[in-house]
Structure 1
Amino acid sequence: MSSRSEVYDFMEEAGMLFFATVKDNKPKLRPIGFRMMEDEQIYFVTGNKKDFYNQMVKNSNIEVVGQSGGKFLRYYGHVAFDEDEDKTLIKKAFEKMPMLEKMLQGKTGQPQVFHITKATAEIRTHTGIVKSYNFLD
């Protein structure tokens, strides 16, 4: 199992993940339930008219936190938006979570696929880091 697969599996166990961005120099958190892994990359989706999207465009630094059992994950780096011109990724996202398509209609704008690049993943307990991974892509 690859390091990224281990991180993805932890995310799946955690269920809901919390994404931290910045707006007006203040932290903003939101729960996100969707993620998928394709070709050894972890992808997320949002709408391009959402505050979340605009915050990531303005400041690409992001951190994701999830908790499972007595451990939690910190996954942080820079947002990279994926072109997905042929819509392959978004089609796979809708296959994995059909309700996502309805959630991303109307006011949220067009679905935008993204991943976290130059990322560090830390699986931690409240006393320290258990495992740490660096992903340079």
Structure 2
Amino acid sequence: MKEISNYGGYVMENKELNKKILDFLSEAGFFFFATTEDGMPRVRPLLYIEEIKDELIIAISTTKAMAKQIEAKPDFEICASTQERWLRIKGKAQLVTDKEIIAKAMEHPIVKATYTEETIGAHYLVLDSVEYFTLTGEYSCWK
């Protein structure tokens, strides 16, 4: 890990960063995923995020507005919190075309119960920044 002095954070390897993110989101229970449509924010809670082949993946329905919003403008933001801490992630979502990754996502109980092979739309999350905050004022930039 290499310290970033002006952010009070660290540059992490993807594997380590993904683990910290997934651990936090698991503790939070769910997270909010924001996109935009017609210049307006669109935010919804999500439960599923997983690391497959060293990449963070979300699964959404290809029939929902969220899929169209990501296609039109791939910028996203995730926010999740526990009682005393929160995480904000910004980045771009990219459509997954690798059938092996989609099949792996379909093995997850939440995905399997929610989507079919015809309606699943998996997306890679390309992270621009990951910020961690606490109620006591602690801040660090994980990426």
Class of the TM-score when normalised by the shorter of the 2 chains: 0.7 to 0.9
Deviations 1:99-120 (A, max 9, x none): 42342249xx521111221421
Find out whether 1:133 has 2:142 as its counterpart.
yes
- Contact 1:46 1:53 (C-alpha < 8 Å) held by counterparts: yes
- Contact 1:80 1:116 (C-alpha < 8 Å) held by counterparts: yes
The TM-score, its normalising length taken from structure 2, stands at 0.79
Determine what percentage of the aligned residue pairs are the same residue: 22
Q: Aligned to 2:73, which of 59, 72, 75?
A: 59
In the alignment, structure 2 segments of 5+ residues that lack a partner are 1-14
Structure 2: distance between partners of 1:118 and 1:67: 18
In the alignment, structure 1 segments of 5+ residues that lack a partner are none
- Contact 1:74 1:123 (C-alpha < 8 Å) held by counterparts: yes
Amino acid at match of 1:33: L
Deviations 1:72-108 (A, max 9, x none): 1101111111111xx22222222222x42342249xx
Q: Aligned to 2:114, which of 91, 103, 117?
A: 103
Q: 1:39 to 1:100 in 2, by over 3 A?
A: closer
Q: Aligned to 2:84, which of 58, 67, 70?
A: 70
The equivalent of 2:37 in structure 1 is 23
Q: 1:81 to 1:15 in 2, by over 3 A?
A: same
Structure 2: distance between partners of 1:62 and 1:121: 12
Structure 2: distance between partners of 1:128 and 1:112: 38
Q: What is the root-mean-square deviation in Å for CA atoms of aligned residues?
A: 2.1
Query: When the two structures are aligned, how many residues end up with a matched partner?
Result: 129
Give 3-state SS (helix, strand or coil) of 1:69's partner: coil
The TM-score, its normalising length taken from structure 1, stands at 0.82
Name the larger-Rg structure.
2
